[in-house]
Structure 1
Amino acid sequence: MKTFSIAPFSSVLGGCMIAALLLPLTLSAADNRITSEIESVEVMHNGELITIERGNDRNATLPEMYQKTDRGCPPFCVQPMVVVPGVETIGEIDMLGYLQRISEGDDTLLVVDSRTPDWVMQGTIPGAVNIPWNKINHEGGKTFAAPSAAESLVHILSDEFGAKQDPQTKTWSFDDAKTLVFFCNGIWCPQSSINIKTLNGIGYPVDKMKWYRGGMQDWVSVGLTTVEPD
C-alpha cells in the first residue's frame, strides 16, 4: 500500500489533490459555499427575502429537464459567446452581484427571465422578472399572447425598462432606461439572445444590456437556489 506525505505535494497541484481526497470527510453541509469568499446572497423576490446558496446534497444531480444533450437545431442552436458586440456576457458571480444590488435598492437594474411561463413555472432565479421573449418578438409567423409585437414592445419599453418615447416623433430615449440582465435556459436557448438583438435593433444601448449565457442550466448545475412562482 502506498502512503503519501504532505511535503512532496507542496505545489498547487499536490495541494488540490489532497483537498480532493479529504473533501468528503472534512466538509459539513454548512461549508458548501458559493465561492471561498461568498457563503450566500440574500435577494428580494416578489416581496419575499430569499437566500441564494448552494445545495448540500453531495449526491444531487441535474433536474431531468436539463439533462438532455440533443434538442435539435433549429431552434435549440448553440449560442455564440458574444450575442451582440458591446453586450457583456456574464457568469454566475456577476449575476449574484446584480441581484444583490437590486435587493439593496438599485432601481437602475432589472434581471429578466426571457423564457415562456411554462419553463418559469418549473423554477427561476430569485429576483428575476419574467418577460417572455414572445412578448417582444414575433418570429416564424407564430401567434403569441401579445396583441401585436409593436404594442407589447412599447408597453414593455416604457413601463418595465424605463425608456421614454416622444409622442410626436415616436423616437425612443434611453437616457433613464434600466440596465437589463437577460437569461433563459442555457447556451442552447435563443430566447434571451433574440430579445437582446431586437432591443439592439431599436437603439437600446449595448452598455445597458448584459447576457447570462449559461442561463438556468448552468445555474442549477452548481446547485444554486431557484424559486417557483406561487
Structure 2
Amino acid sequence: MARRIVLIITAAVMLFTTPAWAADASKADNKADLKVKITRDISSFTVMHNGKPVVIQRNQNQQNTIVKDYALTSRVCPPFCIQPMHLLPGVETIGELEMLNYIKRASKGDPNLLIIDSRTPDWVAKGTIPTSINIPWTQLYQQASNYEPMVVEGILTDRFGATVHDGIWNFSNVKDLVFFCNGPWCGQSPTNIKALVSMGYPAHKLHWYRGGMQSWHAFGLTTVTP
C-alpha cells in the first residue's frame, strides 16, 4: 500500500513539475498578460542571439495566418517529398517544445551544442530561429556543385569538435547538433544529417526539428533576420 502511495505521488510530481528551462523562462519573462502562450505555464522567454536579447513568444494577433512562403500545400516531389518521422536509427526527431529546450541551452552558451539552419542563405535572409547558425546543406553534401572537402574538414573540426589524424576521423568528443530547414517536405537538413552519419558522426549526437520553419511559423513563434 505504501509503495502504491509513493508511486502515485511520484507520478503526480512528474506530471506537474515544470521543466528547468521553462522554470527559468517563467522567472525571466512569462508575461501574464499574453493571451497566446507557448504552453499553459510559459508565455515568453528571452534568449541571446548574436549577442542581443530576443524575446521568444507567439504572435498575439489571433487572426494572424502563416506567411506566404509556407502556405503552399503542394510542391513537386521529388525533390519536395514528405520526410519520414524517424530519419535514421539513433537520430532524435524533436518538436517545438524540445526545440525550445535546445534554444535555451544554446542561449546560455552551452559549448557542446549547435543549432543549425541547413537552408541556403536566400531562405535564411527571410528569417530564422533564434540562436541558430547557418551552415547550408550544400557545404556538407558531397554531390553539391559547390562542395569543397577543405570546407567540410574545417566545419567538422572548427565547428563540430571532430579531429582527424592521417585521414582517420575521431568523433568521440563532438557536439550535439540540432538541424532544421523549411519543413516536413524539405530535404536540406535530412541531407546534412545523412551526410554526417555516413562520415561516422554519432547518430545520437544529431537531432532533427522535422517541422522546421513551416511549423515554427504555423505556431506564430519569433524569428530573427541575419
TM bracket, shorter-chain basis: 0.7 to 0.9
Is 1:190 the counterpart of 2:187? The answer is: yes
Secondary structure of the corresponding residue to residue 99 of structure 2: helix
Deviation at 1:29, TM superposition (A): 6.0
Is 1:82 the counterpart of 2:100? The answer is: no
Secondary structure of the corresponding residue to residue 31 of structure 1: coil
**Structure 1 match to 2:150:** 151
CA contact under 8 A between 1:133 and 1:195: conserved in structure 2? Answer: yes
**Structure 1 match to 2:118:** 114
User: What is the TM-score with the length of structure 1 in the denominator?
Assistant: 0.82
**Structure 1 match to 2:169:** 172
CA contact under 8 A between 1:29 and 1:56: conserved in structure 2? Answer: no
With 109-118 and 31-40 compared, the bigger mean Cα shift is at: 31-40
Q: Which amino acid aligns with 1:175?
A: S
Q: Which amino acid aligns with 1:165?
A: V
Is 1:126 the counterpart of 2:125? The answer is: no
**Structure 2 match to 1:39:** 43
Secondary structure of the corresponding residue to residue 178 of structure 2: strand
Deviation digits for residues 74-126 of structure 1 (CA, Å, limit 9, x no counterpart): 11011011111110100000011011011122110100000000100000000
Secondary structure of the corresponding residue to residue 158 of structure 2: helix
Q: Which amino acid aligns with 1:195?
A: N
Deviation at 1:165, TM superposition (A): 1.0
Gaps of 5+ in 2: 1-31
Is 1:218 the counterpart of 2:220? The answer is: no
| Pairing partner for 2:68 from 46, 64, 70 | 64
User: What is the TM-score with the length of structure 2 in the denominator?
Assistant: 0.83
Aligned pairs (5 A) from 1:198-213: 198-213=195-210
**Structure 1 match to 2:21:** none
Gaps of 5+ in 1: 1-27
Deviation at 1:41, TM superposition (A): 2.6
**Structure 1 match to 2:6:** none
Deviation at 1:61, TM superposition (A): 0.4
Secondary structure of the corresponding residue to residue 54 of structure 2: strand
CA contact under 8 A between 1:89 and 1:211: conserved in structure 2? Answer: yes
C-alpha separation in 1, matches of 2:46 and 2:173? 27
Q: Name the count of aligned residue pairs.
A: 195
Q: Which amino acid aligns with 1:59?
A: Q
CA contact under 8 A between 1:41 and 1:96: conserved in structure 2? Answer: no
